[in-house]
């Protein structure tokens, strides 16, 4: 029923609320462009793994270009190719990477700052909302790779995202 609702009302939006969840799992995200993420990761070293995250990115509407059995000239093909290239531009669209951090043992809770600058064009979001499915008036929609899997963050990434541990779950 929920799927049917959002399938036909994409503009309503659906998403994930960041922060601590019942049971102690914490959702944290980084928002920015794919290029900014790649540059930041390259600075941190090519051998470092960012753990398993889910990504949400903006995708252009499907192309209206249709193929036919009728031969067309070079000008028409060049125009069609140029149109398709323009629709695939999305490098400057901001997206989200979401991690699900498991609860810690021995009464220790993990917290992330509600908002923090990670690098040029990248922000850590410890609270707020990540749009899992949303449509814009221009036809672009968000696409998610997978539901976040609860998994420990690599220590270097936890430090970079500003993770703080507190005893006893004190807020």
- Residues 38-52: tens digit of each pLDDT: 899 888 766 778 889
The pTM assigned to this predicted structure is: 0.74
Phi, psi of 70 (to 5 degrees): -85, 135
Cα–Cα distance for residue pair 92/65, rounded to 1 Å = 24
Q: Which of 9, 18, 13 is nearest to 148 (CA)?
A: 18
pLDDT over threshold 90, residue 30: yes
Cα–Cα distance for residue pair 20/141, rounded to 1 Å = 27
Cα–Cα distance for residue pair 6/24, rounded to 1 Å = 28
Q: Which of 66, 61, 67 is nearest to 87 (CA)?
A: 61
23 found inside a domain:
yes
Cα–Cα distance for residue pair 164/40, rounded to 1 Å = 21
Range of the domain at 13: 2-62+79-163
72 found inside a domain:
no
48 found inside a domain:
yes
70 found inside a domain:
no
Phi, psi of 135 (to 5 degrees): -125, 140
- Residues 48-82: tens digit of each pLDDT: 788 899 999 988 887 665 555 555 666 776 666 66
171 found inside a domain:
no
84 found inside a domain:
yes
Count of domains observed in the chain: 1
20 found inside a domain:
yes
67 found inside a domain:
no
Q: What is the pLDDT of residue 101?
A: 93
């Amino acid at each position: 029923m929920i799927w049917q609702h959002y399938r036909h009302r994409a503009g309503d939006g659906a998403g994930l609320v960041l922060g601590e969840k019942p049971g102690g799992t914490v959702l944290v995200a980084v928002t920015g462009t794919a290029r900014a993420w790649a540059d930041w990761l390259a600075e941190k070293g090519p051998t470092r793994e960012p753990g398993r995250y889910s990504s949400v990115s903006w995708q252009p509407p499907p192309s209206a270009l249709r193929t036919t059995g009728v031969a067309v000239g070079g000008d028409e093909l060049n125009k069609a190719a140029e149109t398709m290239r323009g629709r695939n531009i999305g490098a400057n669209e901001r997206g989200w990477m979401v991690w699900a951090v498991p609860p810690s043992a021995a009464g220790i809770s993990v917290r992330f700052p509600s908002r923090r600058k990670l690098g040029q064009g990248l922000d850590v979001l410890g609270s707020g909302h990540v749009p899992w499915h949303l449509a814009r008036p221009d036809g672009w929609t968000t696409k998610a790779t997978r539901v976040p899997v609860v998994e420990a963050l690599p220590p270097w990434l936890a430090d970079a995202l500003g993770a703080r541990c507190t005893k006893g779950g004190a807020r």
